[in-house]
Amino acid sequence: MNREEARKKATELVSKMTVEEIAGQLRFDAPAIERLGIPEYNWWNEGLHGVARAGVATMFPQAIGLGATFDEELMKEIGDVISTEARAKYNFQSAYDDRDIYKGLTIWSPNVNLFRDPRWGRGHETYGEDPYHIGRMGLNFIEGLQGDGEYLKTAACAKHFAVHSGPEALRHHFDAKADMKDMWETYLPQFEVCVKEAKVEAVMGAYNRTNGEVCCAHSYLMEDVLRGQWGFEGHYVSDCWAVRDFHENHKVTSSPEESVKLALEKGCDVNCGCTYQKIMDAYDEGLIDRELLERAAIRLFTTRYLLGMFDKTEYDDIPFDVIECDKHLSVASRAAKESLVLLKNNGILPLNKEKIKKIGVIGPNANSRASLIGNYHGTSSRYITVLEGIQDYLGDDVRVFYSEGCHIFGPKTENLAKDYDRLSEAKAVAANSDVVILCLGLDESLEGEEGDTGNAYSSGDKNDLKLPPSQIKLLETMIEANVPLIVLDMAGSAMDLCLAEEKADAVIQTWYPGARGGREVAEMLFGEFSPSGKLPVTFYKNTDQLPEFEDYSMKGRTYRYIENEPLYPFGYGLTYGNNTVKEVTVMSGGSFEEASKSSIKLIVKISNESHYTCEDILQAYVRVGGTADEVPNAKLAAFERVYVGANETITVSLEIPAIAFTTVDKDGKRSVTGNSADIYVGFSQPDARSEALTGNKPFAINIK
């Protein structure tokens, strides 16, 4: 069904409703209108990395781990799996007349906010810190969610619009200040891709204000940009209880009724929260009219018609047993493999189980289900922790010792014990092991959304980049044990891993690898596949390298603007192989003028000078010359996952889009202002730290 037809049907249906009936349909928990054959519908469903909060579903790595895959094709497959399982659930739940929260077809994902500061607790819901990368990953995820059938398979939602990335504790009254250059260079490009290219059906507003206006009633963002410049035709939803913040916290209105008026006038169609329960009061006071209510309701019912809620669709027969089927679990396994990032390896990896008699698995995240899943998760019928993955992989061939080592953040694991009550056990495990796998990091109780799970620190944000004191003590103790040491950081954000980088034999960033991700971690450790993930965020050495958290200027933030040397750069990640770019040939768009008008197409010759077959992420970075408007450092312009056999040389094509050769001026206008460009093609950024860590330089060319 096309939008014009759906809108026509929606308009006709809404015309038959009373004002009170229309008002009810603008709530996220819309009641039934039995006389019109409209069942109740709850707009709130989650699918960030699997259908969430509604029972069993295939659970993928957390979004930040998916970002580390740099795999567009995989993102589309994941979106398709999630929408298939959401449809299967909707089918059986509706058959049982279960229309509760988290059981609809409107999926409030993806989160395409830019992860600008590693202290932000919700950063692990995002794909990383680069707008181009986020846009490509989000576009494919949305296409997978929405499908390409006669009807929308599910309706995706790009959130949180816009300029939102902490602090969580301040979000209900905070005003994020961003100049037009930062807006159009950093905060808006990925949303533009989601709207204009992916045709996302919904956009969710943020809690905060941006440049003085609340994001769920923002003249510039919602009217001028979203529906004006971008031509968005879908519906707009408030973040949960954000409209209540208008009068209670932002103080831009003085009553719920005034907040209703402001939100509806600016185009907020459905309210997650309670304020739209005051719509009839606002109507009775003469603050709003029927026409305004109809506009929102027509948009919402257009979406419901596009989803085929009142028709027979090609998705109605998706059976219950597709949920967690082998095919879907295989996609989750692939995602877990591709998400793992090898940060350091002095040659200890991959491990050879034939040479190991005893292995120690230590740490608060070694046998933790919470460290697998991140937030906004569903339920798996089976979990495989890192400990279980190693035990399953090794079987009876190798003795596996285990110690929790410490509490994930507290001083002890047993209330009546003295501090560090598991440290002696950890020492004993290390003393009796040939190698130690130390599993440190966080979980959703230490980094996440404000108020979501009673987060321990700063309303879900981190105070700094350090591991909790209990884990630092454990790490120091394991270093002193003088046993070969592999550190696994199971966290959704950049951490201070300086000590591990200096002293451990290997360091791996696992993120939150999914419900069964411990299996893939074990397989990587023992060389069943070569790691291929790349960092989608910069790992800083400490917070001294960062501006103030509340400062939304991009100066000094992320790899594009960083002014000092990071610990691990964006785009960095080792493999067991040794891939290098030997030659780059320009096939078309060889002048700057040609490239900036269409694109530049390259043929890249890659050699893997090792006996390991491996996947890797080919990356192209661009820095435009002849203009003061370019960002300080070369920016990601294209990426491609490649497969290179042992001691093999291959050629691949890579296209850099024309937008990479544009810049944004102080007024937010994007145009071609340069006259040349340096292009770098390789498996990392063209920065000194990446070169030092990898031992390789990207291939450089210049176009004029």
Q: Given 80, 182, 239, 489, which residue is catalytic? A: 239
* φ, ψ of residue 22 in degrees (nearest 5): -60, -45
Between CA 66 and CA 211, with CA 158 as vertex, the angle to 5 degrees is 115
Helix (H, G, I), strand (E, B) or coil at 654: strand
Q: Which residue reads 């799970």 in tokens?
A: 453
Write the CB contacts of 371 (distance below 8 Å, at least 6 apart in sequence): 364, 365, 385, 439, 441, 442, 443, 490, 512
Token pair for 30: 């819309």
Half-sphere exposure of 568 (CA within 13 A, CB side): 26
Whether 239 is catalytic = yes
Helices (H), 212-274: 242-245, 256-266
* φ, ψ of residue 172 in degrees (nearest 5): -80, -10
Query: Which amino acid is residue 273, in one-letter code?
Result: G
How many Å apart are CA 300 and CA 19, to the nearest integer?
Answer: 15
| Cα–Cα separations (whole angstroms), residue 342 to 306, 333, 347, 412 | 43, 17, 12, 30
635-638 long-range CB contacts below 8 Å, 24 or more apart? 635/130, 635/132, 635/560, 635/660, 636/130, 636/132, 636/133, 636/570, 636/571, 637/132, 637/679
Query: Which amino acid is residue 698, in one-letter code?
Result: P
Neighbours of 418 (CB within 10 A): 9
Neighbours of 96 (CB within 10 A): 7
> How many helices (DSSP H) and strands (DSSP E) are in the chain?
21, 23
Q: Which residues are catalytic?
A: 239
